[in-house]
Amino acid sequence: MSTSNSNSARMRTIFRSKTSKTLDRMEDPRETLDDSYDQQVKLLQQVRLAVADVATAKKRIELQGEEMGARYQRLGAQAAEALAQGREDLARAALERRAMLEGQVAQLQQQFTALDRQTAQLQDRERRLTDQVAAFRIEKETIKATYTASEAQVRANEAVSGISNTITDVGSSLDRARDRVAQMQARAAATDELLASGVLTDLTAAPDADIERQLAAVSAQAEIERQLQAMKGSSGQARGATERPGPDGWLSIGRAG
């Protein structure tokens, strides 16, 4: 029962680890920052469009107010001219229309004042939001650069770790190769000695090669004895046999004089 629980806990740990790694790969903070920046830029564009719309409405009211102001002045002039001509009725009608126009102008002035205040507020928000977006962009790029550098360092460290493991494996392979070479060299030297001593038979040698080697050894020994006797018989001859004048004297070593 405890073994089963231990296996289950191990599986849960492995699953959480794999899930965490998958989420890390899926959720790149650089992409998240870019998305947030794009959203803020879109909001800033909306605020700028609102400022433009309010400014347009304000300008329209301003033009309408100028037109109504011109009419107000014209009605006043018409009332004065009608009164001068003795047409009090026309003067009264012009003044009545001007009075009605005053009410309309008053309402227009209220709208213009409200739009002017709204425009100032939106412009202030647009400036603050522009500063915030600019500051966020700088911080975003800084964080992205830091993350990219850290990611590169992690890859480099992992690569170095992999190289270290590879070097360890290569070192082990070299040690095994050196051991095999040393063993093979020792075996070659041992077989050479066994062949020389006659314990092993050289299958590639000519027939009766062992007899020839023994005869060669006896002949060499006899030659040494002959030279020794000659040296004992005549010291001058011994000097003549051992001394070869000239720089090419070595060429005659081993040859019969």
| The 3-state secondary structure of the chain, one letter per residue | CHHHHHHHHHHHHHHHHHHHHHHHHHCCHHHHHHHHHHHHHHHHHHHHHHHHHHHHHHHHHHHHHHHHHHHHHHHHHHHHHHHHCCCHHHHHHHHHHHHHHHHHHHHHHHHHHHHHHHHHHHHHHHHHHHHHHHHHHHHHHHHHHHHHHHHHHHHHHHHHHHHHHHHHHHHHHHHHHHHHHHHHHHHHHHHHHHHHHCCCCCCCCCCCHHHHHHHHHHHHHHHHHHHHHHHHHCHHHHHHHHCCCCCCHHHHCCCCC
Residue 244 pLDDT exceeds 90: no
Query: Domain containing 43: what range?
Result: 7-162
Percent of the chain at pLDDT > 90 equals: 17
102 in Cβ contact with 73 (< 8 Å): no
pLDDT at 135: 92
pLDDT at 198: 61
Residue 61 in any domain: the answer is yes
Split at pLDDT 50, 70, 90, the class of 23 is very low
62 in Cβ contact with 169 (< 8 Å): no
Rounded to whole angstroms, the Cα distance separating 202 from 192 reads 10
3-state SS, 22-68, equals HHHHHCCHHHHHHHHHHHHHHHHHHHHHHHHHHHHHHHHHHHHHHHH
CATH number at residue 39: 1.10.287
Residue 180 pLDDT exceeds 60: yes
Average pLDDT over every residue of 62-81: 91
Average pLDDT over every residue of 105-134: 90
Average pLDDT over every residue of 30-47: 89
At 218, list the tokens.
């006896």
Average pLDDT over every residue of 132-156: 87
Rounded to whole angstroms, the Cα distance separating 136 from 37 reads 7
Rounded to whole angstroms, the Cα distance separating 70 from 105 reads 11
Residue 185 in any domain: the answer is no
Average pLDDT over every residue of 144-171: 76
Place of tokens 């001509």: 85
Total length of the chain: 257
pLDDT at 127: 92
At 79, list the tokens.
């009332």
Residue 25 in any domain: the answer is yes
Residue 238 in any domain: the answer is no
How many domains does the structure of the chain reveal? 1
Residue 188 in any domain: the answer is no
pLDDT at 238: 47
Residue 242 in any domain: the answer is no
Residue 250 in any domain: the answer is no
Least confident of 30-44, 86-100, 104-118, 203-217: 203-217
pLDDT at 42: 92
Residue 13 in any domain: the answer is yes
Contacts of 252 (CB under 8 A, 6+ apart): 244
pLDDT at 171: 66
